[in-house]
Amino acid sequence: MPIQGSGWEIHIQRTLVQIRQSDGKPRTVGTYQVYHNGTPVPGLTGTTAESKGPSSNAVKNVRINPGRYPLATQDGGKYATIGYTGNANPAALRRPGVELLNTGNRSEILIHPGIGFLASVGCINLCRILPNEAEPISFGGSRNRVIAIIDDMRAFLGAAFPTRNGRPIPNAFAVIDEVPG
Question: Mapping DSSP to helix (H, G, I), strand (E, B) and coil, where does residue 159 land?
Answer: helix
> What does the pLDDT average to over 122-146?
96
| HSE-up (13 A, CA, CB side) for residue 133 | 13
Residue at 79 is within a domain: yes
- The reported pLDDT for the residue numbered 1 is 58
Domain that holds residue 109: 8-177
- Is residue 33, in this structure, part of any structural domain at all? yes
- Straight-line distance from the first to the last Cα atom of the chain, in angstroms, rounded to the nearest whole number: 14
Which residue type occupies 75? D
In a domain, residue 105? The reply is yes
What string of DSSP letters covers 52-114? -SS--SSSTTSPPPSEEEEEEE-B-SSEESSS--S---TTSSSEE-EEEP--TT---EEEEE-
- Is 108 domain-assigned? yes
How many H-runs (helices) and E-runs (strands) does the chain carry?
Answer: 1, 10
What is the pairing mode between strands 67-73 and 168-177? antiparallel
47 located within any domain: yes
CB of 70 closer than 8 Å to CB of 102: yes
Q: In terms of DSSP H, where are the helices of the chain?
A: 139-157
The verdict on residue 129 lying in a domain is: yes
Q: What are phi and psi of 87, to 5 degrees?
A: -80, 125
Residue 144 located in a structural domain: yes
Task: Specify if 3 maps to a domain.
Answer: no
Number of domains in the chain: 1
For the whole model, what pTM was predicted?
Answer: 0.95
Q: Using the predicted structure, report yes or no on whether residue 60 has a pLDDT greater than 70.
A: yes
Dump pLDDT digits (tens) for 78-126. Answer: 999 999 999 889 999 999 999 999 999 999 999 999 999 999 888 999 9
Q: How confident is the model over 117-136, as a mean pLDDT?
A: 94
